[in-house]
Amino acid sequence: MTDKINEYLLGTIAVVGGFFTKQVLGRQSKVEDRVSALEKVVVTKQDLESLERTTNIILEHIINRPKG
C-alpha cells in the first residue's frame, strides 16, 4: 500500500516539476529573444561617433567645394 502511495507521490512530483521547469525555461527563452531583438536596435556611443565623423566629412565637402 505505501509503495503505491510513494509511486503516485513520486509521479506527481515529477509531473509538477516538469511543468514548472518547462514554464521557467520557456520564459527564459522568450526573455532571451526579446533581449536579442533589443540588442539589434540599440545604438551605441561608438555607432554615433562614426556617424558624426561621416556627417562632418560630408558637410566639409559640401561647404568647401568650389562654386561654379
Tell me 1's DSSP state: -
CA distance 43 to 34: 16
Residue spans of the domains in the chain: they are 2-64
For 8-19, how does the pLDDT look when each residue is reduced to its tens digit (9 = 90+)? 999 999 999 999
For 40-50, how does the pLDDT look when each residue is reduced to its tens digit (9 = 90+)? 888 888 888 88
With a threshold of 0.85, does the pTM exceed it? no
The whole-number pLDDT of residue 38 equals 87
Q: What is the mean pLDDT of the chain?
A: 88
Q: Is the pLDDT of residue 67 over 90?
A: no
Q: State whether residue 25 is helix, strand or coil.
A: helix
